Amino acid sequence: MTKEYHISVIPGDGTGPEVVAEGIKILQTLADKFYFKLNFTYYDIGGEHYKATGEILPENILESIAESNAIYLGAIGHPDVKPGILEKGILLKLRFYFDQYINLRPVKLYEGVETPLKDKGPSDIDFVVVRENTEGLYAGAGGCLKHGTADEVAIQESINTRKGVERCIRYAFEYCRKRNQRKKLTLCGKTNVLTFAFELWERTFYEVAKEYPDIETDYAHVDAICMWMVKNPEWFDVIVTDNMFGDIITDLGAMIQGGMGIAAGANINPEGISMFEPIGGSAPKYTGKNIINPIAAISAAQIMLETIGEPMAASLIEESVIRVLRDDLKDVAAGKMGYSTQEVGDLVISYIKGNSKQ
């Protein structure tokens, strides 16, 4: 019987719809090639929709998405909407609602892509960040008192539960083993200052490590991690960290792998519905110009296929992306690629189909 997958698609704001369109084109090509079926359901949510209707992410959409196998997301964020509304109301809401407790972010420099790091190349920059995705400073705990007065107080607490920390660390060990490269897992924390939160992380890390004698363990403070990511990125294989630190170090990671046009991520619930997205934002200034790089969205589609159970189709995306980056694109930045957004998608498809360039 033909395998069939239901994909919820949220193109979102800015350049989200443009890059998602390329990803969908590629997914469809692979479904035809490998004889599986993809049913796409589009959801019109995001900044434009919010401005027009006041609606952010209604319950009935969440219920409908819950019936699907995966979520493919473009970008959420609008210059006219106050920061926090869409981020909390859509992106974080989806992550929390579907308990996508892992944010998996590969940092891989492909051949032909320029890194700002001097004397570093593809063999030096190839690691994965496992970011906890439902707790920490993102849990929304805290509040304010006497707002707007001279006596105001703002509190934002980092929530770290044993269960949340342990499942993330366990996932990272399993992932590191499966990845089967250096077999080294680095915990990124701040045990010298955040003595409550990271004492729990560190203790859990070394406890779980006992079950993985084949994995080398290491620890570094987050500030040192930033330094080493620039100076010696080849030291890393898999890094596990909390939500906030993971957010920050993966932007640094995106830059050393060639920029936001390249970086893809996955919000994973290993037992549930996961969500795949390019990690760059909605890039309002490039909207509608057909110049943004769709590779990040295409690589997000790759991780989606890997996760839902189509590994062969997934690796064909990666092989094709490798060729496009190595042989075709001049530069990976918007407007400098030498190709339009759609042409980059077409190039990937031509390699998937086994043709040389059109």
CB 265, min distance to Mn ion, A: 9
Among 19, 26, 91, 165, binds ligand IPM (CB under 6 A): 91
In 3D space, the residue among 202, 207, 203 whose CA is nearest the CA of residue 220 turns out to be: 202
Query: Counting contacts by CB under 5 A, is residue 247 touching Mn ion?
Result: yes
Phi, psi (deg, nearest 5) at residue 323: -65, -45
The residue sitting closest to ligand IPM, measured at its beta carbon, is 87
In 3D space, the residue among 122, 117, 99, 106 whose CA is nearest the CA of residue 239 turns out to be: 106
CB 346, min distance to ligand IPM, A: 28
Nearer to ligand IPM among residue 31 and residue 275 (C-beta): 275
For residues 96 and 354, give the distance between their C-alpha atoms in angstroms, rounded to a whole number.
Answer: 40
Query: Counting contacts by CB under 6 A, is residue 132 touching ligand IPM?
Result: no
Query: Counting contacts by CB under 6 A, is residue 87 touching ligand IPM?
Result: yes
State the binding partner of 87 from ligand IPM, Mn ion, none, CB within 5 to 8 A by kind. Answer: ligand IPM
For residues 71 and 301, give the distance between their C-alpha atoms in angstroms, rounded to a whole number.
Answer: 10
With contacts defined by CB under 5 A, how many residues of the chain interact with Mn ion?
Answer: 1
Q: Which residues fall within 8 angstroms of residue 159, CB to CB, at 6 or more apart? A: 135, 136, 139, 141
Q: Parallel, antiparallel, or unpaired: how do β-strands 264-268 and 274-278 relate?
A: antiparallel
Nearer to ligand IPM among residue 112 and residue 261 (C-beta): 261
Measured N-to-C along each axis, helices 222-231 and 243-256 cross at an angle, to the nearest 10 degrees, of 10
Element (H, E) at 3: strand 3-12
The window from 8-16, 86-94, 211-219, 228-236 that contacts ligand IPM (CB under 6 A) reads 86-94
4 DSSP β-pair partners:
37
State the binding partner of 20 from ligand IPM, Mn ion, none, CB within 5 to 8 A by kind. Answer: none
For residues 4 and 11, give the distance between their C-alpha atoms in angstroms, rounded to a whole number.
Answer: 21
State the binding partner of 346 from Mn ion, ligand IPM, none, CB within 5 to 8 A by kind. Answer: none
In 3D space, the residue among 340, 275, 299 whose CA is nearest the CA of residue 27 turns out to be: 299
Among 238, 279, 308, 324, binds ligand IPM (CB under 6 A): 279
CB 319, min distance to Mn ion, A: 28
How many residues in the chain? 358
Nearer to ligand IPM among residue 279 and residue 321 (C-beta): 279
Site string for ligand IPM, 222-261 (x = CB under 6 A): -------------------------x--------------
Query: Counting contacts by CB under 6 A, is residue 22 touching ligand IPM?
Result: no
For residues 325 and 157, give the distance between their C-alpha atoms in angstroms, rounded to a whole number.
Answer: 42
Nearer to ligand IPM among residue 190 and residue 323 (C-beta): 190
With contacts defined by CB under 6 A, how many residues of the chain interact with ligand IPM?
Answer: 5
In this structure, are residues 220 and 110 in contact, taking their beta carbons and an 8 Å threshold? no
For residues 39 and 311, give the distance between their C-alpha atoms in angstroms, rounded to a whole number.
Answer: 18
CB 347, min distance to Mn ion, A: 28
In this structure, are residues 131 and 142 in contact, taking their beta carbons and an 8 Å threshold? no
For residues 343 and 358, give the distance between their C-alpha atoms in angstroms, rounded to a whole number.
Answer: 10
State the binding partner of 137 from Mn ion, ligand IPM, none, CB within 5 to 8 A by kind. Answer: none
CB 258, min distance to Mn ion, A: 17
Q: Which residues fall within 8 angstroms of residue 28, CB to CB, at 6 or more apart? A: 38
State the binding partner of 91 from Mn ion, ligand IPM, none, CB within 5 to 8 A by kind. Answer: ligand IPM
Query: Counting contacts by CB under 5 A, is residue 242 touching Mn ion?
Result: no
CB 354, min distance to Mn ion, A: 36
Site residues, Mn ion (CB under 5 A)? 247
Site residues, ligand IPM (CB under 6 A)? 87, 91-92, 247, 279
